[in-house]
Structure 1
Amino acid sequence: MTKTPSQETVKVWGRIFRIQKKALAYTEKALKAAQLPQLSWYDILLELDKAGDQGLRPFELEHDLLLPQYGLSRLLDRMEKKGFLQRVPCPEDGRGHRIVITDKGRDIRLKMWPIYAKAIEDIIGPNLSENDLRTLSELLAKIDIPEE
């Protein structure tokens, strides 16, 4: 028989999802108001920028992303059409490709960051002290989700 979560566990679960939903909506609204791409584009560009000139294979990118990944290929197609990334042949697999950020992709990511950073600060900054943030970070790190 599986253990039933306590009321407090269910309350925390609900709060995590409500906060995530509100935070994403707030950030997306701020990016849209600044006429910038959506947050998932930022996350992709950040991972590609961190990977450097070697880029990432699509499955590596999917693993590293913070947002849910459905329709990644179509999203990458749209970003490539905008000139933010390019697909290059993969030397270790002749059929595969690596995804590499372009200079234009770096530029738009750098334009997005101040809007994203302000959203993070607006949502978390005024509500938690540095000590609160450390404690919350430590508590969240204790939640271990098994990989599939």
Structure 2
Amino acid sequence: MTDTRWLDEHEQRTWRGFLGLQRQLIGQLNRQLQVDSGLSLADYDVLVQLTDTPEGRLRPFELQTELQWEQSRLSHHLTRMQRRGLIDREECADDGRGAFVVLTDAGRSAITAAAPGHVDTVRRLFFDRLTPQQLATLQQVSDQVLGSD
């Protein structure tokens, strides 16, 4: 038998509140992107990773690491994005079995068009509702939790 450290009432309220906050924000951000640009939040996440590199290209394992997605999810999502012309795949000259995921002109145009509305929504739903002190605390908490691997 293990000695499970069950959550007390305060911890449960805090944890459930965090999960609810996350679900609500993700849902609203996804809806805004879909309505305004036809992109999903997952599309946007992939495009952000690619636009953050000077060449607009990454190896699939790099995307998988950055996005924290399962390999099958990434593969299926990239296939859908490729069909829509947002990304392409190119062979890797250094590794005959490897490939690059490459941002296309259409993908760059899509994220360029979607970004202003997305940022406005992030600001309205999140940053505008918090004080500078709350943001600093949230940053400290995020650093502490994410640094605990």
**TM-score, with normalisation over the residues of structure 1?**
0.86
User: Where do 5+ consecutive residues of structure 1 fail to align?
Assistant: none
Contact preservation (8 Å) 2:37, 2:110: no
Query: C-alpha distance in 2, partners of 1:74/1:63?
Result: 16
Residue in 1 that maps onto 2:121: 119
Partner of 1:64: 66
How do 1:135-146 residues align onto structure 2 when only pairs under 5 Å count?
135-144=137-146
What is the 5 A alignment of 1:64-83? Answer: 64-65=66-67, 68-69=69-70, 71-83=73-85
- The answer to whether 1:22 aligns with 2:24 is yes
Please state whether the residue corresponding to 1:143 is helix, strand or coil: helix
**After the TM superposition, which parts of structure 1 deviate over 4 Å for at least 4 consecutive aligned residues?**
none
Q: CA deviation at 1:45?
A: 0.6
Aligned equivalent of 1:5: 7
- Alpha-carbon separation, structure 2, partners of 1:134 and 1:79: 36
Identity %: 26
C-alpha distance in structure 2 between counterparts of 1:92 and 1:82, whole Å? 28
Q: Unpaired segments of 5 or more residues in structure 2?
A: none
In 2, distance between residues paired with 1:128 and 1:134?
10
Correspondence 1:132 to 2:131: no
Contact 2:87-2:102 within 8 A present in 1 as well:
yes
Q: TM-score, normalised by structure 2?
A: 0.86
> In the alignment, is the contact (CA less than 8 A) between 2:29 and 2:41 conserved in 1?
yes
Q: Is the 1:54–1:98 contact (alpha carbons within 8 Å) kept by the matching residues of 2?
A: no
Residues matched between the structures, number: 146
